[in-house]
């Protein structure tokens, strides 16, 4: 036996009331959007294209000064690149020093004269007596 869903009449009435209240606002919004689109279309057709900016009056130094300003993030990026290059340079010098040591063999140590041990030692080996 299947039971059909019974709608809550109060909820249905509340939904209809909300729909009736929002319908005029929605229509007003559509009219405003159409008017806005029409005005933008009219402006686009009547407005002449802007001429490209000329650099004849400006000096090259002036245009260069505009591009020099860097944000904090860019300064940090530049500083990190510089630090990386310095590290690479010092690492290269360190590796050069290591390879130079490997390439040039160290001079052989001069032989030292080894005196032969006497055949008989004067002190007896082993444990000493405590006095």
What is the pTM for the complete model shown? 0.29
User: What whole-number percentage of the chain has pLDDT above 70?
Assistant: 69
Exposed (0-12), middle (13-18) or buried (19+): which is 67, by Cβ within 10 Å? exposed
pLDDT in tens, 53-108: 666 655 555 555 556 677 899 999 999 999 999 999 999 999 888 888 877 766 67
Q: Is 86 left (phi over 0), alpha (psi -120 to 50) or beta?
A: alpha
Q: What local confidence, expressed as pLDDT, does residue 53 receive?
A: 65
**The two structure tokens encoding residue 31:** 């009219």
**The two structure tokens encoding residue 124:** 């007896």
DSSP 8-state symbol, 120: S
- Dist. CA 71–CA 74, nearest whole Å: 5
> Is the Cβ–Cβ distance between 55 and 63 less than 8 Å?
yes
């Amino acid at each position: 036996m299947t039971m059909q869903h019974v709608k809550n009449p109060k909820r249905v009435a509340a939904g209809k009331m909300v729909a009736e209240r929002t319908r005029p606002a929605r229509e007003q919004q559509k009219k405003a959007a159409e008017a806005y689109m029409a005005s933008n279309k009219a402006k686009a057709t009547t407005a002449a294209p802007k001429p490209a900016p000329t650099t004849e009056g400006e000096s090259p130094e002036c245009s260069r000064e505009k591009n020099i300003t860097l944000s904090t993030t860019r300064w940090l990026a530049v500083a990190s690149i510089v630090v990386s290059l310095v590290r690479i340079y010092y690492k290269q010098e360190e590796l050069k020093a290591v390879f130079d040591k490997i390439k040039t063999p160290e001079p052989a140590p001069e032989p030292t004269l080894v005196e032969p041990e006497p055949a008989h030692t004067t002190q007896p080996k082993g444990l000493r007596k405590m006095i």
